[in-house]
Structure 1
Amino acid sequence: MRDYVYTIGREFGSDGKNVGFALAEKLGINCYDKELLTEAAKQSGFCEEIFENHDEKPTNSFLYSLVMDTYSINGYSSAPFLDMPLNHKVFLAQFEAIKKIASEGPCVLVGRCADYALSDNPNCINAFVHADLDYRIENMKKRFGMNEKQAKDTLAKKDKQRASYYNYYTSKKWGDSRSYHLTLDISELGIDGCVDMIIRYRDLLEAQRNK
């Protein structure tokens, strides 16, 4: 069995994070969600609060692609990196933290464009967890004590934010099935069902590769 890395994209309020942690527990490996911010802060030298304030938030800078090309050649010490907007620095630091964590062995990575950061890793399995609106609204009510209108407004805002962030930095479409190996409806499968589907996909993939 190869050492696989698993990434979990998720709609807000869908329990995607819980799928990630349940998968990691079943496989006996580490799961990184907010822990990615701690690792990125440690590697970059920025304080962790900066990463929390910019976490999965989109950018409006049209200079990003130019800066990214320069960064890919020169790295953190280059003048363009030092001069770029803070949200770009945060993204790139997370990008490097994700690659470092994945290089150290099997793990689960939640959100933060991890599938894009690991796009050159043939042993990376990318899943996206979604749910129907009623399921997510009930989650918001239970977790945050919101009423239905507050829950709907928050879900729409957070989903738009995540989509903008993902679409900008990856040039792919957030939630589009073509951006992932698996898209899973947790409102039908439940957390355990999503975990089982991801493991089943891995097993089928491994069997195909071993033919």
Structure 2
Amino acid sequence: MKTNTIITIGRQYGSAGREIGYKIADDLGIKLYDKEMLARAAKESGICEEIFENHDEKPTNSFLYSLVMDTYSMGYTGNTYTDMLINHKVFLAQFDAIKKIADEGPCILVGRCADYALESYDNVVSVFIHADMDARIRRIARIYDLPDNKAKDKITKTDKKRASYYNYYTNKRWSDAVSYELCLNSSQLGIEGTAHIIEEYIAKKESISSEQRRI
């Protein structure tokens, strides 16, 4: 199956959102960007990649948020980061990188407010992957060799960071169904089942769009 769609994936920690993304990328023959977005933003902005990793999907305070949004709304680009606060630089450089990646063609972008960065693009499907807590605990406990209570604590803290980051930098709410085009429970469908549903949705949407253009 060929696609012209850009897929953004938001995900609860432990829901296998990234693995589902890789399955879709393999099936559709497109590239997935996760940490690669940070490397791209670092390279194009000239900021050390380690700085991006240290600020990756972590919340900032409301004062910094206001500064970021004021600057972003004024149309700053990747070459105008001089004298900005580091949180500000990281945010803007990452958004610029996301847009440039999307402009290159269909792909999958995991996390980092990609759905918000690309909200003006017509060929984007925003997906949120969630899962039952018990399933997420089992997954994280197995991957990181943790007892269940430590796995749950890791899940809770990571989800809180992701929610705070998303809620600060977008006009939407992380994990709320209205913030996304498609929300799926991976603990009910499994990795392959969830990927298949997303692929079917995209195929159907592209088919409808193609029919409408012929009318």
Q: Do both proteins adopt the same fold according to a TM-score greater than 0.5, normalized to the shorter chain? A: yes
> What does residue 149 of structure 2 align with?
149
Alignment of structure 1 residues 48-87 onto 2, 5 Å:
48-71=49-72, 72-78=74-80, 81-87=81-87
47 and 66 in structure 1: CA distance in 2 versus 1, 3 angstrom threshold: closer
Residue aligned with 2:135, SS: helix
> What does residue 199 of structure 2 align with?
199
* Identical columns (%): 56
123 and 44 in structure 1: CA distance in 2 versus 1, 3 angstrom threshold: same
> What does residue 32 of structure 1 align with?
33
> What does residue 94 of structure 2 align with?
94
The whole-number CA distance in structure 2 between the counterparts of 1:77 and 1:33 is 23
> What does residue 132 of structure 1 align with?
132
The whole-number CA distance in structure 2 between the counterparts of 1:105 and 1:68 is 27
User: Which AA in structure 1 matches 2:55?
Assistant: H
201 and 8 in structure 1: CA distance in 2 versus 1, 3 angstrom threshold: same
Q: Deviations over 1:64-122 (max 9, x none)?
A: 334433343343454xx433321221111111111001100110110000100110111
The answer (yes or no) to whether the contact 1:2–1:123 under 8 Å persists in 2 is no
The whole-number CA distance in structure 2 between the counterparts of 1:86 and 1:116 is 21
The whole-number CA distance in structure 1 between the counterparts of 2:76 and 2:135 is 46
The answer (yes or no) to whether the contact 2:33–2:109 under 8 Å persists in 1 is yes
> What does residue 165 of structure 1 align with?
165
Q: Please report how far the alpha carbon of residue 42 of structure 1 lies from its aligned counterpart in structure 2 after TM superposition.
A: 0.6
Q: Name the count of aligned residue pairs.
A: 209
> What does residue 11 of structure 1 align with?
12
The answer (yes or no) to whether the contact 2:5–2:106 under 8 Å persists in 1 is yes
User: RMSD of aligned C-alpha atoms?
Assistant: 1.5
Indicate the larger mover: 192-201 or 180-189: 192-201
Indicate the larger mover: 11-20 or 55-64: 55-64
The answer (yes or no) to whether the contact 1:44–1:93 under 8 Å persists in 2 is yes
Gapped runs of 5+ residues in structure 2? none
The answer (yes or no) to whether the contact 1:76–1:82 under 8 Å persists in 2 is no
Normalising by structure 2, report the TM-score: 0.92
Q: Deviations over 1:110-158 (max 9, x none)?
A: 0000100110111001101110011100111111111111111111100
The answer (yes or no) to whether the contact 1:56–1:165 under 8 Å persists in 2 is yes
> What does residue 106 of structure 1 align with?
106
Residue aligned with 2:126, SS: strand
63 and 55 in structure 1: CA distance in 2 versus 1, 3 angstrom threshold: closer
The whole-number CA distance in structure 2 between the counterparts of 1:188 and 1:100 is 35
Normalising by structure 1, report the TM-score: 0.93
User: Which AA in structure 2 matches 1:42?
Assistant: K
Gapped runs of 5+ residues in structure 1? none
Q: Please report how far the alpha carbon of residue 63 of structure 1 lies from its aligned counterpart in structure 2 after TM superposition.
A: 4.5
The whole-number CA distance in structure 1 between the counterparts of 2:160 and 2:48 is 27
The whole-number CA distance in structure 1 between the counterparts of 2:38 and 2:27 is 24
